Chain A
């Protein structure tokens, strides 16, 4: 029975890559860069979404009550808020709870809170976190909240949320364009690498044809070359992504504590599989395009 040895094909592919070392390196480098940029943009978008959800700016209004209001007045304000149209939930954070939260946040400055504890006036206001249902009616809700007697201030993040959303969409558009350009560049470099391989083996290919080699036998080593380029590039891109993300993660965690970043370990499997899939598919498409004219009889 006739059978082909996969080791033969892999051997031929590795020989081909070695023979055109510089072009192979160029293909791997370009594809790796493409994957790393793509991964970075993806992680950026994921982190923006994560932070938006964390700070809840998208459908949340914070209502601060005047500090001199009594507990009864605060309960009255709560009921007025509940009765407003478009209100989904109302969460009351007492001035004591706010103080405790702030104590934890500024634990390096215990003296400030000692003054309050020792009989000083609690400067923090009672606060209501109001979530709403309909974004289009948020201006009316904000107006009504401002008109409640005893309300000091209403902080609505709708503009911030809108700005962040626009920035996020802008980043996605840039990301897609970068991706398309880098993908096309990667394809061209891979196509040229494989073409060089085909050119240097043209005599071998013509003899293969005369002795009855099938198209698959002829092109498989070149397709494997594309796949190997994809695998190697995705491996390097993953390492670059991992280390660069860790570096950024550590820097931001240290200097910008307000920003929360997702842990790389939570997404590593998606990053690895995404890189591998895109790398291999690009390799296959690149090599197939460069071989199309050799697929004739």
Chain B
């Protein structure tokens, strides 16, 4: 479970990025986070990834208190979270298989486990025929699916997708969102940060709307909030 309790984030230059955010996201929930530029979406993601520390309040992710977690424990916390970015962030000189295997290798998974698990994950994202392809040989949608596979590689409890459809065409966007729904059905928490009104409306999931660092709307099965 993820819980923001009166979370405030103020940067060194005085910018208030989040101001008294209260949120609770249950295990296995699918959540859209929407808002205009500067609304605080990216900061929210950075706080969840513990790239930034909160200024005040309390942020709990499962058993981890992100305000108090010592630096040496942060990598172990991040293993509970899979992250997908708009720009995919794949290694161009590694194959699809190697890109996914990389995430497992860095946490010290044995080669045997990697060989067994990577094909299974690639099957979930429908890339079972693309093991040996390099990212440059794939479409945008396929590259995002590789990134999604990499995010799933270490069996995280939560997936955070930061504008996952920003660089791909509408059909592929739909496919990626369907995949995320499929992943959520495997009892994973999925948080999707997006601008795409149509996608949000189409999937009818919980929508958290941010403006000026505050939650202005939070409704389940709701529509894209026109005010943002």
Contact = CB atoms under 8 A, between A and B. Distances in A.
A217 B106 contact: yes
Contacts of A206: 89
A210 interface: yes
Contacts of A111: none
Contact of A212 (B71, B75, B91, B110): B75
A128 B109 CA distance: 80
A209 B85 CA distance: 14
A2 B108 contact: yes
A210 B150 CA distance: 11
Given A203-B89, A296-B71, A297-B50, A210 B78 contact: yes
Contacts of A203: 89, 91
B110 A213 contact: no
Interface residues of B, number: 26
A5 B112 CA distance: 13
A213 to B, nearest CB: 4
A2 B110 contact: yes
Interface residues of A, number: 21
A207 interface: yes
A204 B106 CA distance: 11
Contact of A208 (B76, B77, B106, B153): B106
A212 B78 contact: yes
Contacts of A4: 108
A209 B83 CA distance: 11
A8 interface: yes
Interface in B108-137: 108-111
B216 interface: no
A210 B154 contact: no
Contacts of B72: 214-215, 297
Interface of B: 49-50, 71-72, 74-79, 82-83, 89, 91, 102-103, 105-111, 150, 153-154
Q: What are the nearest 7 A-B pairs in CB distance?
A: A212-B79, A2-B108, A297-B71, A297-B74, A213-B106, A212-B78, A211-B103
17 contacts: A2-B107, A2-B108, A203-B89, A204-B91, A206-B89, A207-B89, A207-B91, A208-B106, A210-B83, A211-B79, A212-B107, A213-B107, A215-B72, A217-B106, A296-B71, A297-B50, A297-B74
